[in-house]
Amino acid sequence: MKQIIKIENLRKKFGDIIAVDDISFNVEIGQMFGFVGPDGAGKSTTIKILCGLLSPDEGTVNIFGMDIFSNKKKIQNNIGYLSQKFTLYGDLTVDENIEFFAKIHGVKDYETRRNELLQFTRLSEFRDRLADNLSGGMKQKLALACSLIHKPKIIFLDEPTTGVDPVSRRDFWKILANLLREGVTIFMSTPYLDEAERCNYVALMNKGKIISIDTPAKIKQSTNKTVIKIVCSNIKKAVNILSKQTDFEVQLFGDSLDVIVDNYKNDYVKIEKILNENSIDVTTQRNIPLSLENVFIIKVKEESKQAV
């Protein structure tokens, strides 16, 4: 497939803080590319650079085979951008917001396209409602509709589902799936690793650096490990003991714990023995594949050890 975004050796500092630290990657046409990491990882800064809203200190950004800073207007006319915060006009209706963005992008006969987008985002019945009176999920769908009015070839989404209720989040993902079918390339940042599982390609980012980049499946395979999910009595005590008495990576998830091991059968015998010796009863245990969240925690800890 043809590359639509090409980034090489990108760096950006704000004072003494390195927001983006020498990152390079490519995105192919029609992909959903997930940019994943915690707050402060450098995701939003990178997206703003890709949209021509910030200038990097070093590195190159090519979109559609053109340098973003030499061809900013031409590129911006063919991309859409949805920022982290709701940036539309609360005192305008749904219809009026879309009309406003259509005129900014020079879309003259926008009524048909607007109707399509309202139906697409399931906002048709709310077209006369002020944006300030929409729910969080509906505001995000309106923002998406506004960013799609000029039929962009790439849509940049900066944590689009943060703070959105589960039903609206699911609706939003259905919309994104339809955009992919239409051939739109999606570049999305998210702190949610379960969302990253849906992407064609994923870059895991931490402290300005890309710590892993590949398909979700290959990233999970890269550790050659597996997970034992355990529900037991006194789970906090179990985490503390296993962390101290074994070399396994132990991660607490609600009322269960994940123990990252090399071999399920052999390693569980050791784990069960330690728990029994400390009067901790195992309620259930099962072997499951690694999630991206498991892998991300592993790789962040590996990076921390290397930095010491």
Please, what sign has the CA dihedral across residues 22, 39, 252, 243?
A: positive
Q: In 6-130, where does DSSP find H-type helix?
A: 43-50, 72-76, 94-104, 111-120
Would you give the DSSP letter of residue 55?
-
Residue found by looking up tokens 């006009």 in the block? 89
Q: Which tokens in the block code for residue 112?
A: 């048909």
Radius of gyration, alpha carbons of the chain: 23
Q: Report whether 4 contacts 63 (CB < 8 A).
A: yes
The predicted model scores a pTM of 0.85
Q: What is the pLDDT of residue 307?
A: 59
Q: What is the pLDDT of residue 1?
A: 58
Using CA atoms, how far residue 159 sits from 33, 44, 129, 137, 178, in Å, is 13, 8, 25, 13, 19
By CB neighbour count within 10 A (0-12 exposed, 13-18 middle, 19+ buried), where does 278 fall? middle
Phi, psi of 283 (to 5 degrees): -80, -50
Angle separating helix axes 111-120 and 94-104, nearest 10 degrees: 130
Q: What is the pLDDT of residue 86?
A: 65
Q: Report whether 47 contacts 158 (CB < 8 A).
A: yes
Would you give the DSSP letter of residue 308?
-
Domains of the chain listed by start with CATH number: 3-214 (3.40.50.300), 224-289 (3.30.70)
Q: What is the pLDDT of residue 28?
A: 95
Q: What is the pLDDT of residue 306?
A: 65
Q: CA-to-CA distance for 41 and 251, rounded, in angstroms?
A: 21
Q: Which tokens in the block code for residue 283?
A: 């309620």
Q: Report whether 61 contacts 48 (CB < 8 A).
A: no
Q: Report whether 220 contacts 290 (CB < 8 A).
A: yes
- 308 residues of the chain, pLDDT tens digit each: 589 999 999 999 999 999 999 999 999 999 999 999 888 899 999 999 999 999 999 999 999 999 999 999 999 999 999 887 767 888 999 999 999 989 988 888 889 999 988 988 889 999 999 999 998 888 888 988 898 889 999 999 998 887 777 877 888 888 888 889 989 999 999 888 888 999 999 999 999 999 999 999 999 888 888 999 999 999 999 999 999 999 998 988 888 999 999 999 999 999 999 999 999 999 999 999 888 888 888 888 777 766 55
Q: CA-to-CA distance for 174 and 226, rounded, in angstroms?
A: 31
Q: 162 in helix, strand or coil?
A: coil
Q: CA-to-CA distance for 251 and 216, rounded, in angstroms?
A: 20
Q: What is the pLDDT of residue 66?
A: 96
Q: Which tokens in the block code for residue 77?
A: 């006319």
Name the residue type at position 71.
N
By CB neighbour count within 10 A (0-12 exposed, 13-18 middle, 19+ buried), where does 34 fall? buried
Would you give the DSSP letter of residue 225?
-
Using CA atoms, how far residue 191 sits from 17, 28, 66, 180, 182, in Å, is 20, 22, 29, 21, 26
The set of residues, in sequence order, having a beta carbon less than 8 Å from that of 129 and lying 6+ positions away, is 93, 94
